[in-house]
């Protein structure tokens, strides 16, 4: 946890590593930049500066929100697929150290997105970038954390659910026959929401638990903030009276160990874990439905919910832009 | 047909949907921006704004003219290949709606290029983008229309052939053993030129006809404008006294139905449909030769014509830049 | 050799084609722009202008240094992979002429990187771009030359080894089991350093000689500048008292002729051609170790040297940015 008064050069890999005071600065600045964007007021905080986006995996929101962010801030983001770079050279791949120590001479920040077959490796990879770089490294999602999504999500909640303390936030697993999403979003979000005193419920079939260290962190956060954290496999119970529903598919941490067929059979046991309008009827009248997208419509959630009155999904996606502009403006 | 006095937010998918008055604004602005570019006068009409270029297919002119256009206008264009995006995810592809409703939060306009195996699907795909988007959608060529090319082409004709009314414009099919170009350019061009009172001749082997609705539109346009529209398979006759020759390969609408071998045999029946200097000698002394490029030199047209005194091909390509800057400046 | 007083429109393919006076302008401007970058002073010399980067091969430093350079200069660089362009279309590939004559209408400069199986073809390809283009063409490395690397390298040497005349510069071949680097860097560098009166030694196993025309050029340069040029297969002797060590793998010009297995056997004969700390101990106390990266650590050079006190590798990489900004500012 940095106690420095300056944000310049700081990494963002896990929101837990930023103090509540620092995060408050991010949220206030996000809202300020959001208003300035809406009225077309220039805010070129990163004029002529460069942000390198290193992608080991595909993306829509992340790439486009960061690239548009840099344009709005007066700079430019490089869309770098590792397969077009020397670190992806099959003959003699360049080491991360050498790639990073060169990029830091040309530009001002590095973003990395990576998913890896073995849980934890993606996270370690991003930390290797951060260790080598003298310029800030921002995680654009690893297998463990998605800090910018978590910040966008909390900003959205704060905009729509006033006084978030003791409000009921439900993070729920959702069925999809084919999507194999990493657990970064639920993991980041239960950690961040518990810091803000929310009553956080993690609802999932018992096999779809998260990283035990993350669960432990969420519990500790709740204790410190005066909120609560509970796990359950009772989906309906979780929905009852909820203020926020965040329901989305993710893989278990050990599909790899059990094999492809067993994994598919396991997933297919829970075909009824779809977010429907009937389920939403159990929540508070003013509750919001959240999903970080992409969504497997009809499986994870029905279109009736996605396009219905509770849905906050596009406002949530928009806030990626604003929080990222705030973070980049602060650290670069 | 829009009757709105404002251009902001308007789509450009088929030039037919824009009034002659609106198009006149586009042409005047294109010429103005062209002059300003030539003298190096800044014209940052889209400062810090983002245009998303969604490519389902390869491109040289379209990508580079739009990307350079946005740089000149002070903004930035994202080069997006669908295979790097979530809509191209083989596991659980994201719906167009969700992609569009997110992009519209980050930026200010969307371009789409798509060719599809079945004629008409590409057009429907682009209209789906437009239906979902609250920001303007500009077709960067579907299987049916290429509106920006048509505008660039008419600007070029107006620059080089004063008083276009009743001037003879020949759109001709050309031989290529391997190119399988979509009919978007001839279709867009016979529709646009007939609106300007030109005597439009469409010359092609009888099997290479165009979409019957397009032919019907061209006839109706000619009637309204005081021009004419005729079809012929007499290539030499078409060239006689022509003011503009636009000769280029395109596929029939039903290669798919007849099979690959039959398609090749059909194409190879018309090896003599190459634009040669001898053919150009039949045209008016001051006539221009047009081609939207890429060209299959030696098959569609000889290098003698491509690089000869009638050729307007590079001026035509340049005008892509200027009309697109005008359109983007108006609608974004 | 240009004698023109203006740099606008000039190509940079081989530094030999630029006079010493012109190069001095490049070096002075590089240092000036470097200082302005360090203090954050704007220097938008290419405001709203476009540089097209045409890549036939992968890259990290080249793409990122040029793209960041254009952002810093107020313009934008297009990252163009030929496989996404019409020149890469397998059906009917567009000719270089047509691609170039279109790009020159949209933007202000073209960079090309290409490696080819047969030595010399890449160089010819870049010269074809230059022949067709009315805007400047900058080589981003062919199989024969890497002019921007050579300029960055000499700038680095001048910064770290005052009064370069008669200083000992060693260009050495290095072992790598799998990297097959083109000889562009050693070839460009022995030509440029010999023009500055250095005592240049080219150390390599006898089979790894360079293009005979290049060797001839280096000798002639040395004669004119008052320096020397020698070849040797005595690696230790070369290191003795050296001021600059530049040690890096490259392929012979005729791997193609001898076949893959024979090539591997040839390479493996020279496993001891690794730059080690022991070897560096033979050099002058203040000597620098250079490598253009990517490096095959442990084979071409040990990490002890790469990360040790002599290493200038990241400063060298940084100078790519500054010399390229100088060149682009002058020619575009």
**How confident is the model at residue C253, as a pLDDT?**
74
Nearest CA in chain C to B60: C85
Q: For C264-302, what is each residue's pLDDT tens digit? A: 999 999 999 999 999 999 999 999 999 999 999 999 999
By the CB < 8 Å criterion, does C106 face chain B?
yes
User: B94, A60: Cβ pair inside 8 Å?
Assistant: yes
Torsions phi, psi for C111 (to 5 deg): -110, 145
By the CB < 8 Å criterion, does B188 face chain A?
no
Evaluate whether A246 touches A171 at the Cβ level (below 8 Å). Answer: yes
Return the CATH number of the domain spanning residue range C15-145+318-331: 3.40.50.1370
Sole residue written with tokens 């400062």 = B47
C149-314 CATH choice from 3.90.1150.10, 3.40.50.970, 3.40.50.1370, 3.40.50.720? 3.40.50.1370
- Distance to chain B for C56, nearest Cα, Å: 15
Query: C-alpha angle B155/B161/B165, rounded to 5°?
Result: 90
User: A297, B50: Cβ pair inside 8 Å?
Assistant: no
What one-character DSSP code corresponds to residue B297?
B
Domain boundaries, chain B: 15-145+318-331, 149-317
By the CB < 8 Å criterion, does B106 face chain A?
yes
CB atoms within 10 A of CB A219: 17
The answer for B 240-299 residues in CB contact with A (under 8 A) is none
**How confident is the model at residue A230, as a pLDDT?**
98
- Look at residue C88 and tell me whether its pLDDT is greater than 80: no
Closest residue by Cα to residue C332 from C14, C1, C17, C6? C6
User: C106, B297: Cβ pair inside 8 Å?
Assistant: no
For residues B170 and C301, what is the distance between their CA atoms, to the nearest angstrom?
A: 65
- Residues of chain A short of pLDDT 50, as ranges, are 1-2
Where residue C180 falls among pLDDT bands split at 50, 70, 90? confident
In chain A the first and final C-alpha atoms are separated, in Å, by 18
**How confident is the model at residue A255, as a pLDDT?**
66
**How confident is the model at residue B59, as a pLDDT?**
83
Torsion of CA A283, A288, A294, A300, to 10 degrees: 10
**How confident is the model at residue B4, as a pLDDT?**
63
- Look at residue C3 and tell me whether its pLDDT is greater than 60: no
Torsion of CA A126, A131, A136, A140, to 10 degrees: 0
Q: Which residues pair with B244 in a beta bridge?
A: B169, B288
- Look at residue C116 and tell me whether its pLDDT is greater than 90: no
**How confident is the model at residue B1, as a pLDDT?**
46
By the CB < 8 Å criterion, does A193 face chain B?
no
Alpha-carbon distance values, B194 to B160, B197, B204 (Å): 17, 6, 18
Nearest to A76 among C71, C293, C299 (CB): C71
Q: For B2-17, what is each residue's pLDDT tens digit? A: 456 789 999 999 999 9
For residues A125 and A145, what is the distance between their CA atoms, to the nearest angstrom?
A: 12
Chain A CB contacts of B67 under 8 Å are none
**How confident is the model at residue B191, as a pLDDT?**
98
**How confident is the model at residue B255, as a pLDDT?**
66
For residues A132 and A135, what is the distance between their CA atoms, to the nearest angstrom?
A: 9
By the CB < 8 Å criterion, does C77 face chain B?
no
For residues B174 and B204, what is the distance between their CA atoms, to the nearest angstrom?
A: 8
B149-317 CATH choice from 1.10.3720.10, 3.40.50.1580, 3.90.470.20, 3.40.50.1370? 3.40.50.1370
Give the 3-state DSSP-derived string for chain A, with helices as H, strands as E and coil as C.
CCCCCCCCCCCECCHHHCCHHHHHHHHHHHHHHHHHHHCCCCCCCCCCCEEEEEECCCCCHHHHHHHHHHHHCCCEEEEEEHHHCHHHCCCCCCCHHHHHHHHHHHCCEEEEECCCCCCCHHHHHHHHHHHHCCCCEEECCCCCCCHHHHHHHHHHHHHHCCCCCCCEEEEEECCCCCCCCCCHHHHHHHHHHHHCCCEEEEECCCCCCCCHHHHHHHHHHHHHHCCEEEEECCHHHHHCCCCEEEEECCCCCCHHHHCHHHHHHHHHCCCCCCECHHHHCCCCCCCEEECCCCCCECCCECHHHHCCCCECHHHHHHHHHHHHHHHHHHHC
Sheet containing A244-248: give its strands across: A228-232, A199-203, A168-173, A244-248, A288-290
Supply C54's token pair. Answer: 């045409």
**Crossing angle of helices A147-160/A20-38, nearest 10°?**
70
**DSSP letter string, C248-300:** E----TTHHHH-HHHHHHHHHTTTT--B-HHHHTTS-TT-EEE--S---BTTT
Q: Residues of B87-117 as b/e, b for ≥16 C-beta within 10 angstroms? A: bebeebbbbbbbbbbbbbbbbbbbbbbbbbe
Q: Environment class of residue B234 by beta-carbon count within 10 Å: exposed (0-12), middle (13-18) or buried (19+)? A: exposed
User: C64, A94: Cβ pair inside 8 Å?
Assistant: no
Question: pTM of the predicted model, to two decimals?
Answer: 0.96
Averaged over C170-181, what is the pLDDT?
94
Same fold across A15-145+318-331 and A149-317: yes
For residues A36 and C43, what is the distance between their CA atoms, to the nearest angstrom?
A: 26
Nearest to B314 among C49, C88, C105 (CB): C105
By the CB < 8 Å criterion, does A76 face chain C?
yes
Chain C CB contacts of B297 under 8 Å are 95, 98
User: C102, B317: Cβ pair inside 8 Å?
Assistant: yes
Q: Which chains, if any, share at least 3 CB pairs under 8 A with chain B?
A: A, C
Average confidence (pLDDT) per 10 residues, chain B, 332 residues: 76 98 98 98 98 90 97 98 82 89 98 88 95 98 96 98 96 94 96 98 95 97 98 98 97 77 92 98 98 96 98 98 98 98
**How confident is the model at residue B115, as a pLDDT?**
84
By the CB < 8 Å criterion, does C84 face chain A?
no
For residues C80 and C140, what is the distance between their CA atoms, to the nearest angstrom?
A: 13
User: B86, A60: Cβ pair inside 8 Å?
Assistant: yes
């Amino acid at each position: 946890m940095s106690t420095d008064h300056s944000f310049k050069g700081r990494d963002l890999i896990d929101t837990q590593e930023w103090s509540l005071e620092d995060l408050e600065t991010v949220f206030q600045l996000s809202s300020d930049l959001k208003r300035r964007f809406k009225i077309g007021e220039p805010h070129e905080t990163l004029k002529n500066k460069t942000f390198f986006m290193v992608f080991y995996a595909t993306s829509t929101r992340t790439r486009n929100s960061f690239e548009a962010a840099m344009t709005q801030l007066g700079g430019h983001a490089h869309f770098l697929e590792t397969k077009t770079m020397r670190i992806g050279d099959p003959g003699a791949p360049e080491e991360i150290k050498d790639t990073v120590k060169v990029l830091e001479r040309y530009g001002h920040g590095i973003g990395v997105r990576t998913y890896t077959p073995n849980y934890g490796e993606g996270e370690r990879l991003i930390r290797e970038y951060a260790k080598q770089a003298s310029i800030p490294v921002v995680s654009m999602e690893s297998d463990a954390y998605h800090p910018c999504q978590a910040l966008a999500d909390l900003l959205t909640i704060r905009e729509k659910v006033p006084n978030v303390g003791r409000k009921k936030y439900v993070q729920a697993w959702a069925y999809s026959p084919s999507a194999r999403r990493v657990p970064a979003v639920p993991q980041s979000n239960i950690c961040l929401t518990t810091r803000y005193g929310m009553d956080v419920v993690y609802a999932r079939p018992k096999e779809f638990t998260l990283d035990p260290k993350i669960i432990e962190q969420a519990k500790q956060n709740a204790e410190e903030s005066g909120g609560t954290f509970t796990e359950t496999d009772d989906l309906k119970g979780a929905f009852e009276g909820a203020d926020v529903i965040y329901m989305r598919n993710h893989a278990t941490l050990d599909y790899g160990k059990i094999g492809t067929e067993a994994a598919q059979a396991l997933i297919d046991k829970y075909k009824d874990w779809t977010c429907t309008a009937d389920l939403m009827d159990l929540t508070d009248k003013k509750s919001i439905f959240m999903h970080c997208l992409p969504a497997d419509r009809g499986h994870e959630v029905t279109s009736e919910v996605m396009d219905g009155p509770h849905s906050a999904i596009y406002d949530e996606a928009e806030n990626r832009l604003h929080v990222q502009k705030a973070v980049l403006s602060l650290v670069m």
